[in-house]
Amino acid sequence: MHRASEPSFRESVDLMFARAVKLMDLPPGMEEKIRVCNSTYTVRFGVKLRGAIHTFTGYRAVHSEHMEPVKGGIRYATSVNQDEVEALAALMTYKCALVDAPYGGSKGGLCIDPRQWDEDEMERITRRFAYELIKRDLIDPAQNVPAPDMGTGEREMAWMADQYQRMHTTDINGRACVTGKPVNAGGIQGRTEATGRGIQYALQEFFRNPGDVKAAGLSGTLDDKAVILQGLGNVGYHAALFLSTEDGARIVCVIERDGAVSNPDGLDIDALRAHIVETGGVKGFAGGAYTEDGSAQLEADCDILVPAALEGVIHMGNAANVKAPLIIEAANGPVTAGADEILRDKGCVIIPDMYANAGGVTVSYFEWVKNLSHIRFGRMQRRQEETRHQLIVDELERISSDASINWTLSDGFKDKYLRGAGELELVRSGLDDTMRGAYNDMAEVWRTRDDVPDLRTAAYLVSIGKVAASYKAKGL
Ligand code: GLU
């Protein structure tokens, strides 16, 4: 997607990094130590499929080992390449630091079109790729913990975890070798929705800060805001679903591979998703008007633009035409460094990827902790919490039964109050807390420092500061 005149994805990340470090006072050499990617492993392996040997190319880049294990997803796409994997690994370092997930940054990728292969073939390819990485400790609960990314999901994570366990039969913590597993194979409730849920929590926190909302030229709350979303994959779907059904936002346009579908009253996201699953695209969806030129819709009028697909979709060629006053980067790297500058000059506020889409790795962290502690969150406390709540409800009911006091409990209070938090409620609570905290750490720098022009620079300042402190503490 990047134009010849623009830097590559990795260079784009480095440029944004460089802009931030200029504003910092780092010890000599620290800037370079943090910026460079520590190592990238490339593997080419063969799998016998359909009567022939097929050779696949895969990568696992480790950007920073200031904390271990290192963490980051594995992407399956034909466009995967070393530059992209290294850019994404760097973003993982900064992302984990910003949300206090105790990891270094890593990322993996396999050059493959998953739609070309059936499930059994995908399993063989995935197990073989996992074997290559496990052999070199590039999948390991203590050293390197992959997760889903574009083109991968629970299914692939379950195969990888099983492959690890076959090769390390006595490792009691083996399940913690990857996150994003199905709940019945050591996963955690709320991981699949986590990145989309994080987008929602990020926007909610943004709109809790009227000064920040004003800086974007907006006012009010999320209610009735017009949203254009690009990419109705796992992240985009959950973000759009929660924003429209829980916060009152109108998803006025969804851009997909085959075009865009618009409805000024708001699209029915579940119906649209079902249509895409059935037909492979948005064309023909009855609940909105179809246009073939999807990317033109990135430039349409709206309050909030949510690029939730690939990197580099807002570039120097279209940034000047983007009208959205607020962009939240659900994808990694959707705005190039050149476009970032154009948009900033126009006054557009960008909630940057390393913060906005950190919900995924945050809940991955909870899953990893669950795997290492071998117990589901809430298992010990839930009923005890309910028993204590019951005491209060009994007492309130006793008081309200006194005829001389004209007082009753509100409808629904008892049921809501009595229910102790299960794993899903706890995961959402931990995620919400993380997104609120990280937003304010980042926004505070933006609000208080005149030399920090935007949230992205502020996010880099916070995260680079944390990585630098960690290297310093280690005595490096
Ligand atoms: N692939 C996701 C990301 O880019 C999740 C990574 C993880 O959970 O480790 O943040």
Show pLDDT as tens, one digit a residue, over the chain (476 residues). Answer: 445 578 999 999 999 999 999 999 999 999 999 999 999 999 999 999 999 999 999 999 999 999 999 999 999 999 999 999 999 999 999 999 999 999 999 999 999 999 999 999 999 999 999 999 999 999 999 999 999 999 999 999 999 999 999 999 999 999 999 999 999 999 999 999 999 999 999 999 999 999 999 999 999 999 999 999 999 999 999 999 999 999 999 999 999 999 999 999 999 999 999 999 999 999 999 999 999 999 999 999 999 999 999 999 999 999 999 999 999 999 999 999 999 999 999 999 999 999 999 999 999 999 999 999 999 999 999 999 999 999 999 999 898 888 788 788 888 999 999 988 999 999 999 999 999 999 999 999 999 999 999 999 999 999 999 999 999 998 87
Cis? peptide before 27, omega within 30° of 0 = no
CA distance 126 to 246: 37
For the CA of 88, the closest atom of ligand 1 is: 4
Which of 239, 228, 226, 242 is closest to 303 using CA atoms?
226
CATH of domain 39-185: 3.40.50.10860
Name the closest-CA residue to atom 7, ligand 1: 361
Ligand 1 centroid to residue 332 C-alpha, Å: 10
* DSSP per-residue string spanning 335-376: B-HHHHHHHHHTT-EEE-HHHHTTHHHHHHHHHHHHHHHTS-
Whether the CB of 147 sits within 6 Å of ligand 1:
yes
What's the pLDDT at 3? Answer: 53
Copy the structure tokens of residue 86. Answer: 């290294």
- Burial tier of 69 (Cβ tally within 10 Å: 0-12, 13-18, 19+): buried
For the CA of 150, the closest atom of ligand 1 is: 1
Whether the CB of 305 sits within 6 Å of ligand 1:
no
Whether the CB of 71 sits within 6 Å of ligand 1:
yes
Ligand 1 centroid to residue 282 C-alpha, Å: 27
Name the closest-CA residue to atom 9, ligand 1: 72
What's the pLDDT at 475? Answer: 80
What's the pLDDT at 404? Answer: 84
Whether the CB of 152 sits within 6 Å of ligand 1:
no
Of 144, 193, 364, 367, the residue with max ligand 1 atoms within 8 A of its CB, to mutate for a pocket test, comes to 364
Active site residues per annotation: 107
CA distance 268 to 245: 9
Ligand 1 centroid to residue 284 C-alpha, Å: 33
Name the closest-CA residue to atom 8, ligand 1: 361
State how beta strands 226-230 and 289-291 pair: unpaired
Ligand 1 centroid to residue 49 C-alpha, Å: 30
CA distance 384 to 382: 5
Starting at the edge strand found earlier in the chain, the sheet holding 104-111 runs 39-49, 52-62, 104-111, 70-77, 144-148
- Write out the residue limits of the CATH 3.40.50.720 domain(s) in the chain: 194-359
Of 70, 195, 427, the residue with max ligand 1 atoms within 8 A of its CB, to mutate for a pocket test, comes to 195
Residue corresponding to tokens 């019951």 = 390
* DSSP per-residue string spanning 281-333: SSTT-TTSEEES-TGGGGGS--SEEEE-S-TTSB-TTTGGG---SEEE--SSS
Compute CA distances 13 → 88, 102, 244, 312, whole Å: 9, 21, 32, 11
Q: Where do the DSSP E strands lie in 352-438?
A: none
Whether the CB of 234 sits within 6 Å of ligand 1:
no
Copy the structure tokens of residue 344. Answer: 């900033």
Whether the CB of 354 sits within 6 Å of ligand 1:
no
What's the pLDDT at 401? Answer: 86
For the CA of 74, the closest atom of ligand 1 is: 1
Whether the CB of 73 sits within 6 Å of ligand 1:
yes
Ligand 1 centroid to residue 149 C-alpha, Å: 6
- Write out the residue limits of the CATH 3.40.50.10860 domain(s) in the chain: 39-185
Whether the CB of 360 sits within 6 Å of ligand 1:
yes
In the 8-state DSSP scheme, what is residue 377? T
Whether the CB of 149 sits within 6 Å of ligand 1:
yes
For the CA of 73, the closest atom of ligand 1 is: 1
| CATH architecture assignment, domain 194-359 | 3-Layer(aba) Sandwich (3.40)
Ligand 1 centroid to residue 265 C-alpha, Å: 33
Q: Are 145 and 176 in contact (CB under 8 A)?
A: yes
What's the pLDDT at 1? Answer: 47
Whether the CB of 333 sits within 6 Å of ligand 1:
no
- Burial tier of 375 (Cβ tally within 10 Å: 0-12, 13-18, 19+): exposed
What's the pLDDT at 474? Answer: 85
Whether the CB of 364 sits within 6 Å of ligand 1:
yes
For the CA of 146, the closest atom of ligand 1 is: 9
